[in-house]
Amino acid sequence: MNIIGRINHVVLLLLLYSYVIYPAILFVLSRVFRRPWKQKRFEPHVTVVISAYNEEGVIRDKILNTLSLDYPENKLRVVVGSDGSTDGTNEIVASIKDRRLRFYHFPQRLGKTACLNRMVPRSKGEIVVFTDANSMLPPGVIRSIVRNFADPAVGLVTGWTKYCSPSDEKAPAGSYARFEKALKIMESSSGSCVGADGAIFAIRKSLYRPLQDDDINDFVIPLDVIRQKHRAVLDPDVFCIEDAAAAAGDEYQRQVRITTRTLRAIRRNIEMLNPLKYGLFSFFMISHKVLRFLCPYFFISAYIINMALLGRKVLISRLIFLGQNLLLAGVLGGFVSKSANSIHRLSRMLLITFAAQGIAWIRMIAGFTDTTWSPRRQARISAFEPLLPPQEKERSRGPISYGFSRSRNEQTPLMSNPPR
């Protein structure tokens, strides 16, 4: 009984750690051990890199949005790589005539990371900005990014994604993104943040190192930057806007794919968990990623233990068991109710996250990779209209959703075309 009770307490403590205790520790660290970095007006040459696969619904608006950003024309270049697109993406990009635009067509499907490995060496300037085809950028985002590179210690700057749902309901991804943003802001205040937002982040070109094709670029690139003794920081003024599908299944698939690839990256970069070598960042990485990804197993263990203790008249176990069931009831209410409130949405987000993390461990151990995946979307850009040039504010399309393909230890041959 005592042993079971102690195990229960440890499991519950670990479950609370990722979502309550760790954020509280970060709050204290960000105020006691502040490491501010310099920000000042700075106008280096910048290349914006976009990898696209079958993005005919959004690619034109994305390119025009990027070319219209508030930054000197002679210091901005946009590089688009088509990753074996089979729709109208190539024709649309080729039809846009602008001397700042470079287009590379890779006939065979490579995967996003492999495309970046081929496009970054062809970029010009000191700073490379990575962004997704379906992410719209506010006018001043480049200036907000590059001001951080005025500090020579900063090697990577990440932003965050503001999700706009096509309905009145907030998408689950939005809640998760806000939590991630808060953690990364506090991590940046006292060192480096864990991971970047793949929809909008930038590095010094000199720090880019080629990645393995199945690496998750927005997690491994920051690790490479930190390994080279530079900082990775989040600037809250740097953000992009995406339409988010409210469908729970789409968010679940996205998180399974991302978590599987992140777990593989952690295994490949296991030395980054050594606090004797990487100090506070190792603590951040263990807390932010490793322990959080284990939360579904902590939750299941606590549920089983507390259910077993119901007959022992242990008040705390009964209260915890009741709380877990209330959480599950909130999840059910979120799926059933057409007018889900914030409690339902939060509960649903937690279940989606736990389910995705639990499956991701199994997929990682089994050797599954997600080098490529297929966007299943018809872009709905009404939320983006303020960010487009005036002549482009005319379309309204369907909601966005994502899927991923399954492959085992997939290797993709290297192919590329010369620029047009």
Neighbours of 162 (CB within 10 A): 19
For β-strands 76-83 and 101-106, DSSP reports them as parallel
Task: Answer yes or no: pTM beyond 0.75.
Answer: yes
Q: Which domains are assigned to the chain? A: 2-22+293-369 (no CATH), 33-291 (3.90.550.10)
Q: What is the pLDDT of residue 306?
A: 73
Q: What are the two backbone dihedrals, phi and then psi, of residue 48, each rounded to the nearest 5 degrees?
A: -100, 125
Question: Please, what sign has the CA dihedral across residues 134, 135, 138, 142?
Answer: negative
Q: What is the pLDDT of residue 337?
A: 57
Q: What is the pLDDT of residue 367?
A: 86
Neighbours of 373 (CB within 10 A): 18
pLDDT average per 10 residues of sequence, the chain (420 residues): 75 89 96 94 95 92 96 96 92 94 91 93 94 94 97 97 66 71 96 95 97 93 97 97 71 88 95 95 97 91 76 65 67 57 67 89 87 56 52 41 32 33
Q: How far apart are CA 233 and CA 159, in angstroms?
A: 9
Task: Name the region of 147 (left: φ>0; alpha: ψ -120 to 50; beta: rest).
Answer: alpha
Q: How far apart are CA 229 and CA 225, in angstroms?
A: 7
Q: What is the pLDDT of residue 327?
A: 64
